[in-house]
Copies of this chain bind each other. A is one copy, B any other.
Amino acid sequence: MNEPEIHTTDYEAALREAGVRITRPRRVILGILADMGDHPDAMEIFQRAVAIDSGISLSTVYRTMKLLEGIGAIHRHAFAGGPSRFEPAVGEHHDHLIDIDTGDVIEFQSDKIEELQNEIAHRLGYEIVHHRFEIYGRKRKKR
């Protein structure tokens, strides 16, 4: 009858794995990450964190995001014209379409494009380390 909070625990396991301490601020941030359905920036994460524990600092948010990025637990996206946004690194790889009017981020995935990328890189004599594919668009007026 009790819901095990698998999400948070998973992250904590990953952190212990990485040999870092599970502190109060980190636990709060991990909790936020666990049910993060969007792509918030550091300030937004900071505000969500403060709502849970008012003692947390923005520095710690930045430090924790960097730490999590380092162990591959989250992805950082530097979309055009704004601060970095983050998202948990769970699930399949995908790219993003950013609504330039609202800032909304829509995810999409194209095996074809990923494949073409590889062909291109190899043709040029390179191995892909990572890539960035972002479409900036405006909602098509309904007809």
Contact = CB atoms under 8 A, between A and B. Distances in A.
A138 B129 CA distance: 7
Classify chain A: how many residues form its interface, as a range.
Answer: 20 to 34
A134 interface: yes
Nearest to A119: B110
What is the total number of copies of this protein in its complex? 2
A116 B116 CA distance: 10
Interface in A109-123: 110, 112-113, 116-117, 120-122
Q: Which 8 A-B pairs have the closest CB atoms?
A: A126-B137, A132-B134, A131-B135, A128-B137, A133-B133, A129-B136, A130-B136, A127-B140
30 contacts: A80-B132, A97-B121, A99-B126, A100-B129, A106-B126, A108-B120, A108-B124, A110-B120, A112-B116, A113-B113, A113-B117, A116-B116, A121-B135, A121-B137, A122-B140, A126-B138, A126-B139, A127-B138, A127-B140, A128-B135, A128-B136, A128-B137, A129-B136, A129-B137, A131-B133, A131-B136, A132-B132, A132-B133, A132-B134, A132-B136
